[in-house]
């Protein structure tokens, strides 16, 4: 049968595409002054952050539910409570992700879709004025 309804996971390029997107996202967070505020909230090594975001987005985009299998229900808002996240932090996160997406091989139409979905999730993560 012809696949006519690919998942976001497939449109991002499966495991390889998602890995490279997330690696670029954290490389950007790690190296641009524009993201220094949120970089400081993260541990010294970003290895676990890379793995966790990869596992979460795998299931979220319609691929293997790796995060859920290992850690249970994501409860992302609750898990972000220890970190002070306002408009500035939200916008820094989105700046990194949007830049990583713009540099990726993902189709522009899919990039626009992802940007608006991430904007919603990042806004939901705010826990201070």
Residues forming contacts to ligand HEM in the complex (CB under 6 A) are 38, 41-43, 48-49, 52-53, 56, 71, 76, 79-80, 83, 85, 89-90, 93, 118, 121-122, 125
* Residue 43 structure tokens: 């541990």
Least Cβ distance, residue 1 to ligand HEM (angstroms): 31
Residue nearest to ligand HEM (CB): 49
Q: Residue 34: CB partners within 8 Å, gap ≥ 6?
A: 92, 95, 96
Least Cβ distance, residue 53 to ligand HEM (angstroms): 5
When the beta carbons of 13 and 42 are compared against ligand HEM, the nearer one is 42
When the beta carbons of 3 and 120 are compared against ligand HEM, the nearer one is 120
When the beta carbons of 3 and 15 are compared against ligand HEM, the nearer one is 15
Residue 76: closest CA among 22, 129, 125, 126: 125
Least Cβ distance, residue 51 to ligand HEM (angstroms): 9
- Helix, strand, or coil (residue 85): coil
Could you write out the DSSP letters of every residue in 30-52? HH-GGGHHHHTTS-S--HHHHHH
What is the Cα–Cα distance from 103 to 80, expressed in whole angstroms?
A: 27
Least Cβ distance, residue 54 to ligand HEM (angstroms): 9
């Amino acid at each position: 049968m012809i696949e006519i309804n690919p998942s976001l996971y497939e449109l991002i390029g499966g495991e390889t595409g998602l890995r490279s997107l997330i690696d670029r996202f954290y490389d950007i967070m790690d190296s641009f002054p524009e993201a220094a505020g949120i970089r400081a909230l993260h541990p010294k090594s970003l290895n676990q952050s890379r793995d966790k975001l990869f596992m979460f987005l795998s299931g979220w985009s319609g691929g293997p539910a790796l995060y859920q299998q290992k850690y249970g229900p994501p409860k992302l808002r609750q898990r972000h409570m220890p970190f002070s996240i306002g408009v500035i932090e939200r916008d820094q996160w989105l700046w990194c992700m949007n830049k990583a997406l713009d540099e990726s091989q993902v189709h522009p139409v899919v990039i626009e879709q992802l940007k608006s979905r991430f904007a919603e999730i990042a806004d939901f993560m705010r826990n201070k004025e």
